[in-house]
Amino acid sequence: MSLNVRGFGVEGKFGWVKGLCSTEKPDIAVFQETKSRYLEDRWVQALWGSNDFGFIQKEVVGNSGGMLIIWDTKKFIVDSAVGSEFFLAILGKWYGSGLESIIVNVYGPHNDKDKKRLWDALDGLINNQDVGWVICGDFNEVREHSDWLNCVFHHAWAKRFNEFILRNNLIEIPINGRKYTRVSDDGIKLSKLDRFFVTDSFISLWKDLSVIALDRRDSDHCPLVLRDKIIDFGPKPFKIFDEWLSKEGVDRVI
């Protein structure tokens, strides 16, 4: 699960996110814009709703930013972690699988110079690891003009974002439930800033991936949930024609 929480200190925010963790039961949850300084174990445990957890955080700088990753230690074993100005990442293995995965929590910057620094930093990280990748979060960038509504579209910025995606062979998992993932406070500006990207090696492990956008309620961003779920539509349809009943041995075939 990924969410730009827009500050855990806001009244009601903790209870909302705790409810999401309880309902969705994610193996891993990543949060951007926590606006939090050092978070204690007992606070994270209360949010996660279980004692089976690990976490890594990037404290807030000034009045904005801050990132957090929490994982279920019964589902995912973390070997190492790395962080930079604009992302946090954990490397580990899923129980029952030999495939290593890196989960990257991104909180993208707003200006062009820092965006380039982010893409360059992720390029270096991805090129040094032959594992399954999940890169998600609030990228503060769009891929095409239709991802904005009532906002200024920067073609050069979007081009650089798409080049980063193509260069690293990233696959975006389409979002169901919403066209836009962020709404301004006045309800006028809408944008698709939150995404999930994966690599082929990750898809080889999880073959039925989908992303659902949930009700944003207490944030200007929607929570996104990446799921691996086969939908069971029941038995496959079967037709029989009356003529077959006149054929010898049809009862044995059925």
Per-residue pLDDT of 178-210, as tens digits, reads 899 999 989 899 999 999 999 998 988 887 899
Q: What is the largest CA-CA distance in the chain?
A: 83
> Helix or strand or coil: residue 40?
coil
Q: Which residue is associated with the tokens 């790395």? A: 82
CA–CA dist 140, 59 (Å, integer)? 19
Contact 132, 93 (CB under 8 A): no
For residue 20, what pLDDT is reported? 97
By CB neighbour count within 10 A (0-12 exposed, 13-18 middle, 19+ buried), where does 214 fall?
A: middle
For residue 233, what pLDDT is reported? 43
For the segment 6-17, what is each residue's pLDDT rounded down to a tens digit? Answer: 999 888 899 999
Average pLDDT over residues 92-113: 91
Could you tell me which residue, 241 or 248, shows the higher pLDDT? 248
Count the alpha carbons within 13 Å of 122 in the hemisphere toward its beta carbon: 32
For the segment 133-176, what is each residue's pLDDT rounded down to a tens digit? Answer: 999 999 999 999 999 899 889 999 999 999 999 999 999 999 98
What domains can you pick out in the chain, each with its CATH number?
2-229 (3.60.10.10)
Instruction: Provide the whole-model pTM.
Output: 0.87
